[in-house]
Amino acid sequence: KKVAVLISGRGSNMMSLISAAMSPSYPAEIGLVVSNKPDAAGLTKAADLGIKTAVVDHRDYKGDREAFEHALNGLLKDNAIELVALAGFMRLLTPFLVNEWRDRMINIHPALLPSFKGLNTHERALDEGVKLHGATVHFVSAEMDDGPIIMQGAVPVLEGDTPETLGARVLGVEHQIYPKALELVANGKAKVKGQKVSTTGSDA
């Protein structure tokens, strides 16, 4: 399956997908990396590995989210993209793009959904005193950080953790689960059934 990874920043999750996809037996190839920010560090990392990159700068569309998404969608179609993986892509999507890619667009969120949707998840997890935290890969639906859950990874919250130390622990688990989740989706082994995903052949 030909996959586009959408980023806005450093792209460490993107790199974990690119690394996994380098294995010949992996069922997906990263055919395109798109950023909405021209200065995203992940763009150079991908280009250095010979992966095609593109920028669709939301500021060029002056607040017209649908026009931005039409441009993005056109780029994905022109490149024969079959699956989209959001990896630190910091734009809320409208129902247009979500419907266009229903069951073919996945996201990683740095919390155990449905807890801690939105931003600053590590700080909020510490404020709530949870003892387990983690990351979730899910299909994208119209609601932010919602949609059928494909895979989760948990880490302990340790005494003395700061948002930074906890975030680094969660990031480690993100880099493990995102390639596995994309593998399941690309293999057709993660299927959406109503609000849930049923998986076969998952070792996670």
Check the annotation: does 59 bind a ligand.
Answer: no
- How far apart (Å, rounded) are the C-alpha atoms in residues 30 and 35? 14
Shortest spacing between CB 163 and ligand GRF, in angstroms: 12
The token pair at 51 is 């992966």
The reply, when asked if residue 73 is annotated as ligand binding, is: no
Number of H helices, E strands in the chain: 6, 9
Kindly tell me which of 49 and 171 has the beta carbon lying closer to ligand GRF.
Answer: 171
Least spacing, CB of residue 125 vs ligand GRF, in Å: 13
Question: Which residue of the chain is nearest ligand GRF when measured via CB?
Answer: 88
Strand, coil or helix: 125: helix
Residue type, 31: G
Specify the residue, 154 or 191, whose C-beta has the smaller distance to ligand GRF: 154
Is residue 22 part of an annotated ligand binding site?
Answer: no
> Could you give the angle at the alpha carbon of 25 between the alpha carbons of 23 and 26, nearest 5°?
70
Closest CA relative to residue 139, chosen from 188, 185, 175: 185
How far, rounded to the nearest angstrom, does the alpha carbon of residue 20 sit from its chain's CA centroid?
15
Least distance from ligand GRF to the Cβ atom of residue 11, Å? 5
User: Does 43 belong to an annotated binding site?
Assistant: no
From residue 17, give the alpha-carbon distance in Å to each of 3, 22, 186: 10, 9, 12
Instruction: Report, in Å, the least distance between residue 200 CB and ligand GRF.
Output: 25
* Residue 65 is labelled as binding a ligand: yes
Catalytic residue among 109, 122, 133, 138: 109
Is 175 catalytic? The answer is no
Output the six-digit token pair for 41: 């560090």
For residue 203, the SS3 value is: coil
What burial class does residue 62 get, using C-beta atoms within 10 Å of its C-beta: 0-12 exposed, 13-18 middle, 19+ buried?
Answer: exposed
Q: Given the complex with ligand GRF, which of 47 and 80 has the nearer CB atom?
A: 47
**Residues at the interface with ligand GRF (CB under 6 A):** 7, 9-14, 87-88, 108-110, 171, 174
When the beta carbons of 173 and 192 are compared against ligand GRF, the nearer one is 173
Q: Which residues are catalytic?
A: 109
Annotated binding site: 11-13, 65, 90-93, 107
Annotated binding site for (6R)-10-formyltetrahydrofolate: 65, 90-93, 107
